[in-house]
Amino acid sequence: MGANVVPLNPNEEPWIHQDAIRVLQDSLGVDCSRDVVERAVFEISDRLCRLELAFHDGRLDEVGKLAGSLVGMSTQIGLLVFANVAASLCHSVQCENHVTAAAQAARLLRLGESSLFCAVEIADRSG
């Protein structure tokens, strides 16, 4: 009986879909799009902090809600991998798969910081 083991990279690099930021810039202008990205980064950062606290307190319903809210905001600014991890976390919580949820929450938190810095850097550089 062999198990399928998938090695995970704990130093995962963020991936930003830069077209999302370009669409914001084309529709809102450079300065307004930069403001939108910065506000989204602040909101995502705040929700990540609340998600981490909820997870450590065992409030998985709250974790699922916060993860779900992260999907739309992160997609808007091109954080597609981050959005996929948040959606997977939300699904794991709904399925009450606590082991998978723990791994995905840890991955989301690791990926969050680098992704947010990268989004701001791209928004600043694109202007």
What is the tally of structural domains in the chain? Answer: 1
- Domain contains 84: yes
- Domain contains 51: yes
- Domain contains 1: no
What pTM did the predictor assign? Answer: 0.86
Q: What is the pLDDT along the chain (127 residues), one digit of tens a residue?
A: 456 665 656 667 777 888 888 898 899 999 999 999 999 999 999 999 999 999 999 999 999 999 999 999 999 999 999 999 999 999 999 999 999 999 999 999 999 989 999 888 888 886 5
- Contact of 60 with 90, CB cutoff 8 Å: no
- Domain contains 5: no
- Domain contains 13: no
Residue 113 gets the label, from left (phi > 0), alpha (psi -120 to 50) or beta, of alpha
CA atoms within 13 A on the CB side of 72: 4
Query: What residue type is assigned to position 65 of the chain?
Result: K
3-class secondary structure, 94:
helix
Note down the domain range covering 55: 18-126
Supply the CATH number for residue 101's domain: 1.20.120
- Domain contains 3: no
